[in-house]
Amino acid sequence: MAILRIATLGHPVLRRVADPIPPDQIRSPAVQQLIADMRETMADYDGVGLAAPQVHQSIRLVILEQSGQEMVLINPEITFLTSTAVRSFEGCLSVPEMRAAVDRCAQVRVQALDEQGQPLDFMASDFDAIVVQHECDHLDGVLYVDRCDTRTLAFLPNYRRYGPLDPDFQPSEE
Ligand code: NI
């Protein structure tokens, strides 16, 4: 196993639309090794999700936590189930040391294949839905900074020091 290098903002691989994995290749040594390495990498960075493009592999594979359980999603499809949005402050290993507010759909349906090629079909709400949408965006070349309220962007030390910025806050002119 190996800890993989993370592609950061500006690397073209993060902006590509990733290729589907043919189902008959899911159990191949190459894909299984990548899954094992991504697992180790995500744990090392203490992340809750990692998409293959973030480790320079432009294929539709993500590893993420759902309700504290790790899952592998291959060729995932997301369906929005509500018009209700949920706002949270997101970060990304590919956009180091930053946070910003992003509004996401509060409940989604996820259809995918697991690491054995078996079909998955489940609902995700709130934090789980946020994680799924963030990771699956990576497969389409989309980063959270594309979707965030840019007025809330903060470097991590400032975020920790001052807390989440209120986008409606008006600085006084004194
Ligand atoms: Ni990310």
Q: What is the pLDDT of residue 144?
A: 98
Q: Report the predicted TM-score, pTM, of the whole model to 2 decimal places.
A: 0.94
pLDDT digits (tens, 9 = 90+) for 104-157: 999 999 999 999 999 999 999 999 999 999 999 999 999 999 999 999 999 999
Q: Is 135 in the active site?
A: yes
Site of tokens 């910025």: 165
User: How far is ligand 1, taken at its centre, from the CA of residue 103, in Å?
Assistant: 15
Share of the chain above pLDDT 70, in %: 95
Domains of the chain (ranges, CATH numbers):
12-161 (3.90.45.10)
Give the number of other CB atoms < 10 A from CB of residue 150: 10
d(CA 15, CA 10): 8
Which tokens sit at 92? 């990304």
Contact at 8 Å (CB) between 80 and 105?
yes
- Single out the catalytic residue among 40, 70, 135, 173: 135
Give residue 56's pLDDT band: very low, low, confident or very high (50, 70, 90): very high
